[in-house]
Structure formats: structure tokens, C-alpha cells
Chains A and B, each alone.
Chain A
Amino acid sequence: MRLVVVGISHHKAPVELRELVALESTQAARLAAELAEDGEAVCLSTCNRTELYLAGQDGAAAEARAVEALVRLSDAREAELTPFLYRLSDDEAALHLFRVSAGLDSMVPGEGEILGQVRAAYEAGVTGPLLDRAFRQALHAGRKARSETGIGEHPASVASVAAALAEQVFDDIRNRRVLLIGAGKTGESTARNFVSRGAAVSVVANRTPERARELADRFGGQPVALEDVERELERADVVVSSTSSRGFVLAREQVERAVRARRGRPLFLIDIAVPRDLDPAINDLEGCYLYNIDDLQAVVVENVAARMRHAARAEAIVASEAERFRLWRASLEVVPAIASLRARAEQIRAAELAKAETRLGRLSDGERETVESLTAQIVNKLLHLPTVRMKEAAAAPDGVVYADALRHLFGLGDDRAPENRQPR
């Protein structure tokens, strides 16, 4: 059984190409069913990668099917797509999957979403013994890398850093009121991160009323004019500002007036606009914590560096899991030979017992059971050590030689798949 992965990712391919081969969950499930044929297939598609994992008796055919599928999705010719593709097989493919699952192959090392995406792909795929084991072990490796190292601990995007810092102020940001000033994309994604943690965007202020209303509807908040922002400051807990205004949208004096009415409640302000929207002097006010885009970026850079430091340990964990998978896969090669040997031994035992039937006829049922059990135990004990040794030997590069020797010595039939038979 061969394991193959063909993929395209942020390492080589530009976003224009990645978006062509990106798959939604239903498409991924459909493609997996189509690619599996009589084998196994899982399609993993995220914003940074699309990877097709296939397992089957014919590795080359599986790889060709995967490449053809990606070519079809991208609408490009194979020659155009080839420079952006990577193709890995067997142990390398498994190691790659484990690294992906642990977030070690991600744009931001240790990013948290990939583990869920791998799980979703696995659940939507067509799995058999090989991919089932590979994906379960990949998920285990991903969880282990996260729990035993700090690779996923520190937030590594501007939006998540902003939300994590707000949690340092408020503890729980659930039900906190977010005031969104401006309808820029960055501001919206930052606000969305707050919403995903349970906060509510209660007010959206924008120069264009239509855009404010549109965004407010999307978040379930109230639209207000920019001029009314000061009034809203009294009730907000978090302010996210990202307008394209040339001057300050909020001056220190405006916030100072609001602070008096807030009776000591803290206010966390995020200014992601360039040029800045919020007067830097606001940070000097008691209970006000103002972070601009540079402050947040500095935290991101430091956190990514911290994640990189943890990555070496996570790599070791992943490598050890990949080695366990390799041993398991290698043992699969000798399993048919061991099964044949055991079947042959059982056949001999049953035949010899049948031959002795006339002599055993006088035995009581209890005595007959004892003879059955005794002969079975002798066979088991004789075969136990060779079985263990065979499984150990299977991990070695010449493991297949032991399986061949076993077949030869005991006159067993060739139980391997045709493509695994090597001429000697």
C-alpha cells in the first residue's frame, strides 16, 4: 500500500493560483470520493494550501490522478502548474502531513486553525487502513506538539493580539461592547475577532451613513454618524478605529470627557489606521489603553519569534510520531507472511489432530479439550518469537528479505500484492 500527497501551498504558489484550486468542504468530500476509486483519498484545502492525500496499491497511478485533479481545478495546463506542485510519497508524505497538522508548515508557525481543518478533511475523506491511521496519528501529533510546547500559545495576528490584550484588561470579553469607527477591512476583521470571542459590536460609526448601516446590520449593531462617537464612548468597552481620515477622529479632550462619565471603567482603544485616528495622548488618561498598529505588530513579531523557538521541540515530536507511523507501515509488509505462517501451522495442527482421532476416541470431553489446548499452546509458543522478530525486522530497510525467507523456509504461497513482488 502506497501513500502519496500532491499539493500546492503558500511556500511556492501565489494566492492567485491557490484560490483557483481551493475547495469548499462539500467539493473536497466529492473530490475525495472521486479520487479514491478502489483506494483511499482525503482532500485538505485551506487558504494556504490544497493537498490531495491518496493511498492505493499503485502509487504512480494515484499521483497521476491527483495531479490531473489539480490541473482540472486550476484550469491551467500541467506544465504551467508543475513548478508550483509538490509530490511526496510514503514516509515523506506522512511526515509532511504530521508537520501540517502541528502547524509547522503554516505561514505563522503553530497557527491554531489547521488542526481543525485537518480533522474536517479527514472526516470528509474516504479513508481505509492507511489514511485512517495516518490522519489519526497526524491529529495526535498536532495536539501533542501544541500541548507539550508553546508553539500555539502566543497570538500571532494583529486581530488576535488586540483581543488577547483586551482580555488582559477585562478578563472575559464576552458581552463587552465594541465601538467600530470606520468601515475599513482591517477594522472589520479585528472587530470580527472580538465577536468570535463573544463581544458584541454595538455601534458602527462611519463618514458614509450607508456603509455604517450596512456594517452595523452585519454585526447586529447601531449605525451612528462620526460626530456622535463621543457620546457612544461612555458605553463602549473597546474602540476599534480604522478610517482613512487625515486627522484625528478622537482627540484626548473628547475621551477625557467620556472617561469622567464612565466612573472608572477601563476603555481599550485600538487604532489600526494609517495615518492614525486616535490622539496618542489618550493613552495618558487614567483607565485608557491605546494601541496603534505598530504596537500590535511589535507584539506579533515577538510572538512569532517565540513560536519559532518552540518549533524545534515541536519538530522533534512530529519526527518521533512519523517514525512510529513508519514502523507501523513497515509491519504491514510482513503481516501477510505472518498470517500465512500462522494459518499453515494451524492447518498442520488440525490435520495431525484429525489423524489421531481414532486413538483419541476413548478420551473424555475434558481430556479432549486439554489436548486441543495443549497443541494450540505449543503452536503459539513456537510462533511467538518468530512473529515478534519478524515485526521488528520489518522496520529495517531489508525487512522484506525476512518475509521472503519465511515464505521460502515454510513453503508459504506469495501473499503480497503483485506490484510489491520484487524479482530476486
Chain B
Amino acid sequence: MAELLFWPALVAYAEAAVAFWGNARRPGTYGLLGTWGVRLGWLAQTGLLAAQAVRANGFPWDTWAGSLNLFVWLLVGAYLIWGCQARFRLLGLGVMPLVFGLLLLAWAGGGTAVGSESRYSDLFLVLHVGFVLAAFAGFTLAAALSGLYLWQEHQLKRHEGARMLRLRAPSLVSLDTLAGRTIAVALPALTLGIGAGLARLASDGGGLDPLMIFTGLAWLIYAVFLVVRYGLGWHGRRAAVLALLGFVLVILVRVGLPVTHFS
């Protein structure tokens, strides 16, 4: 029965995606509907994850589809921290269709089933998956913020003033600051996740795989991001491009996950 919670979550996320699209055309009520869609969807998904956690025999998100389900939840949760503000609704237009698609994919892969058997379950795995997915959710949001920054900057440079004032996206300074802060929080989470993974590798044995190398590269790019941003004063376009570059590696890792870790 608890599996049915998947549907209200999916429907609410879809409603939010459509409402945010409507909000971009006519700001106002649609934005409010979108925000409530995100909130209700996240509550339904929280219920689903709680049911999965209670009924599973071990760690319930150790498949690629299951981890995708958890990742979506973390992504929406992070978005909800500040995404409900009216000026960040335009960001929902980028985040919510992605959330809808990924949750649907998780369902197709069986990641939303309740009471499944777990093959692995130890503390290292929980910490590893939890921290890495939380970090990836943060990087995804930072990429969305950076993408919106580049779009808005392009509009400003092209003097598309009327359109910008109609859409009322967050300001460049807000987007830049928020992307920096998100990465500043996500990178330590990734560091802990990698640390837990390496500890497990050391205790259980095994070698490096390409995915780990890509993860390390992503870590390096985000570390460079923080150094140049807070140390050398890189702001704006260059910082946004660097954040997007790091996200390309995050996508590669996410896509490669089923092949290397869950095969």
C-alpha cells in the first residue's frame, strides 16, 4: 500500500513543473501552485522513503534506482530550503522537470518498491551513499543556479530588460552567492562520502574503478572552485562556468553508477 505514495509524489512534482512553466509566462498564482506542488510532493516522497526504510531488510537504497529515488528526495529537500521564495520560482522551472523525470526513472527501475531485499547493509555504505548523494543534490542545485546566472547575465548583456523585469529571476549577486554557498556545503559532504567509500574499500578490499576517478576529478574541480572563488575573488561568469564543468562530471558519475557499482 505504501508504494502508492509514489503516485501523489510524482503527480505533485509534475504539477509543480507545469505550474512553474505557467509562472514563467504569467507570474503570480501559478508560482504559488508550483511551490505547493513541491511541498506536497516532497511530503509524499518522504512518506514513501520512510515506509521503504521501515520495511526493508537493511539499507533500502542500494540499487541504482533506489539511490536515484533517494537522490531526488535530497534534491527537492535542498531546493525547498530557499526555493519557496517568489524570486526563486524560475529556478523551479529547471529543477522540477528534472525531478519528475528522475523519479519516473527510479520507479521504472524498481527503486520505489517497498519491502525489497537489500544485498548490502553496513554503516560505511549508509554513510557513503548518503553523503555522496547529498553532495550530488547540492551540486545539481548549484548547476541550476549557475545555469540561471549565465542565462540572466546573457539577457542583461543583450539589454532584454523588459523580459527580465517581467520574469523577475533572482539577481546575479544572489545566484552567484547561493551557488558558492551550496558548493561550500556540498563539497565537505562529498569528501565525507568518498572517505567512507575508501574506508570500506580498505576493509573489504577491491580496487579503483573509472567511476571513482571521475568522482575524484569532480571533487578536484569543486575544490578549485572554492579556492578561486573565496581565495582569488572569482565571481560571476567564470565561477558559473566552473560549477557547470564540475556538474558535467557529476552527471557522468551518476550515469556510470549502474555500470560500475550496481552491475
Interface residues of A, Cβ cutoff 8 Å to B? 154-155, 161, 164-165, 167-171, 263-266, 283, 286-287, 289, 291, 295-296, 298-299, 302-303, 306
Complex CA gap A170/B165 in Å reads 14
Contact of A266 among B165, B173, B232 (CB under 8 A): B173
Complex CA gap A165/B169 in Å reads 11
B235 with A171: CB separation less than 8 A: no
B161 with A296: CB separation less than 8 A: yes
At the interface, yes or no: B152 with Cβ under 8 Å from chain A? yes
B234 with A264: CB separation less than 8 A: yes
Q: How far is the CB of A118 from chain B (nearest CB, A)?
A: 25
Q: How far is the CB of A283 from chain B (nearest CB, A)?
A: 6
At the interface, yes or no: B238 with Cβ under 8 Å from chain A? yes
- With contacts A168-B164, A264-B235, A264-B236 taken as known, whether A291 is within 8 angstroms of B169 at the C-beta atoms is no
Complex CA gap A265/B229 in Å reads 12
Query: Using an 8 Å CB-CB cutoff, how does the interface string of B143-177 with A read, 1 for contact, 0 for none?
Result: 00000000010001101011011100111111000
17 A-B residue pairs with CB within 8 Å: A154-B162, A154-B166, A155-B165, A161-B165, A165-B165, A168-B152, A168-B172, A170-B172, A171-B170, A171-B174, A263-B233, A265-B235, A266-B172, A266-B235, A283-B157, A303-B165, A306-B166
Q: How far is the CB of B167 from chain A (nearest CB, A)?
A: 10
A168 with B171: CB separation less than 8 A: yes
Complex CA gap A161/B238 in Å reads 28
Shortest 4 CB-CB distances between A and B: which pairs?
A264-B235, A263-B233, A171-B171, A302-B162
Nearest opposing residue in chain B for A160, CB measure? B165
B162 with A266: CB separation less than 8 A: no
Question: Contacts of B166 on A, CB cut-off 8 Å?
Answer: 154, 306
Q: How far is the CB of A177 from chain B (nearest CB, A)?
A: 14
- With contacts A168-B156, A168-B169 taken as known, whether A291 is within 8 angstroms of B235 at the C-beta atoms is no
Complex CA gap A170/B235 in Å reads 13
A264 with B165: CB separation less than 8 A: no
Question: Contacts of B233 on A, CB cut-off 8 Å?
Answer: 263-264
Interface of A is mostly: helix
B235 with A287: CB separation less than 8 A: yes
At the interface, yes or no: B237 with Cβ under 8 Å from chain A? yes
Question: Contacts of A161 on B, CB cut-off 8 Å?
Answer: 161, 165
Contact of A169 among B156, B159, B232, B238 (CB under 8 A): B156
Complex CA gap A75/B214 in Å reads 84
- Which of A164, A169, A283, A291 counts the most chain B CB atoms within 10 A? A169
Count of chain B residues near A, Cβ 8 A: 23
Question: Contacts of B239 on A, CB cut-off 8 Å?
Answer: 264
Question: Contacts of B235 on A, CB cut-off 8 Å?
Answer: 263-266, 287
Q: Which of B157-203 contact A (CB under 8 A)?
A: 157, 159, 161-162, 164-166, 169-174
Contact of B238 among A155, A286, A303 (CB under 8 A): A286
- Which of A165, A263, A266, A295 counts the most chain B CB atoms within 10 A? A266
A298 with B159: CB separation less than 8 A: yes
Question: Contacts of B157 on A, CB cut-off 8 Å?
Answer: 283, 289
Complex CA gap A133/B203 in Å reads 82
Complex CA gap A164/B157 in Å reads 15
- Which of B152, B166, B171 counts the most chain A CB atoms within 10 A? B171
Q: How far is the CB of A22 from chain B (nearest CB, A)?
A: 32
Contact of A165 among B164, B232, B237, B238 (CB under 8 A): B164
Question: Contacts of B170 on A, CB cut-off 8 Å?
Answer: 171
Question: Contacts of A287 on B, CB cut-off 8 Å?
Answer: 235-237
Contact of B156 among A289, A302, A303 (CB under 8 A): A289
Question: Contacts of A302 on B, CB cut-off 8 Å?
Answer: 162
Question: Contacts of A171 on B, CB cut-off 8 Å?
Answer: 170-171, 173-174
Contact of A286 among B156, B159, B236 (CB under 8 A): B236
Question: Contacts of B156 on A, CB cut-off 8 Å?
Answer: 165, 168-169, 289
Complex CA gap A302/B166 in Å reads 10
Contact of B237 among A263, A286, A291, A295 (CB under 8 A): A286
Nearest opposing residue in chain A for B235, CB measure? A264
- Which of B152, B159, B234 counts the most chain A CB atoms within 10 A? B159
- Which of A155, A161, A168, A302 counts the most chain B CB atoms within 10 A? A168
A169 with B161: CB separation less than 8 A: no
Q: How far is the CB of B176 from chain A (nearest CB, A)?
A: 8
Q: How far is the CB of A249 from chain B (nearest CB, A)?
A: 20
Nearest opposing residue in chain B for A291, CB measure? B159
Question: Contacts of B162 on A, CB cut-off 8 Å?
Answer: 154, 298-299, 302-303, 306
Contact of B161 among A165, A170, A264, A286 (CB under 8 A): A165
Complex CA gap A164/B165 in Å reads 7
Q: How far is the CB of B120 from chain A (nearest CB, A)?
A: 45
B172 with A295: CB separation less than 8 A: no
Nearest opposing residue in chain A for B168, CB measure? A168
Question: Contacts of A266 on B, CB cut-off 8 Å?
Answer: 172-173, 235-236
Q: How far is the CB of A266 from chain B (nearest CB, A)?
A: 6
Complex CA gap A216/B195 in Å reads 58
Known: A154-B165, A165-B161, A306-B162. 20 other contacts (CB 8 A): A154-B166, A161-B161, A164-B165, A165-B156, A167-B171, A168-B152, A168-B164, A168-B165, A169-B172, A170-B171, A171-B171, A171-B173, A263-B235, A264-B233, A264-B239, A266-B173, A287-B236, A296-B161, A299-B161, A302-B162
